[in-house]
Amino acid sequence: MFDKLRSALKGFAASIKEAVEKKELSEKDLETPLEELMVNLVEADVAYDVAESIVMELRTKLIGSKVPRGTNVEDYVLNSLKSYIATLFSNGIDLVSEAKTKCSSGLPYVI
């Protein structure tokens, strides 16, 4: 008889716990860090199209993700950026050896 009530209360408590413990990232939370990232990438001589692609991918990945309360949103975005860049370079290419080979022939290595 009380099983439905108990289940309902547990479900309510779980949803409140989730709301209190985690924060869902919104466009507003990400706007400033992503704008700063875009500017910093372009200032670091990353092609505008590539920088824009990285920012758009991060925006898509991060909006709606749940971050533990107390976590700095900018740090969370930075960690997501590092993870994304690591996946871009994890395609099995040894950049260092390719760059050395290209430079030894007197030509620049272009990524």
* One-letter identity of residue 67: V
Average pLDDT (90-98) is 76
Average pLDDT (25-45) is 84
28-33: long-range pairs with CB below 8 Å, 24+: 29/73, 30/58, 30/59, 30/62, 30/63, 30/73, 30/77, 33/73, 33/74, 33/77, 33/78
pTM: 0.59
Q: Residues of the chain with pLDDT > 90: what percent?
A: 2
Q: What is the pLDDT of residues 44-78, one digit of tens each?
A: 888 898 889 888 988 898 888 887 777 776 777 77
Residue 72 has a pLDDT of 77
In the predicted structure, residue 93 carries a pLDDT above the cut 80: no
Residue 21 has a pLDDT of 66
Tokens of 74: 């900018």
Looking at per-residue pLDDT, the higher value among 58 and 9 belongs to: 58
* Locus of tokens 């001589």: 45
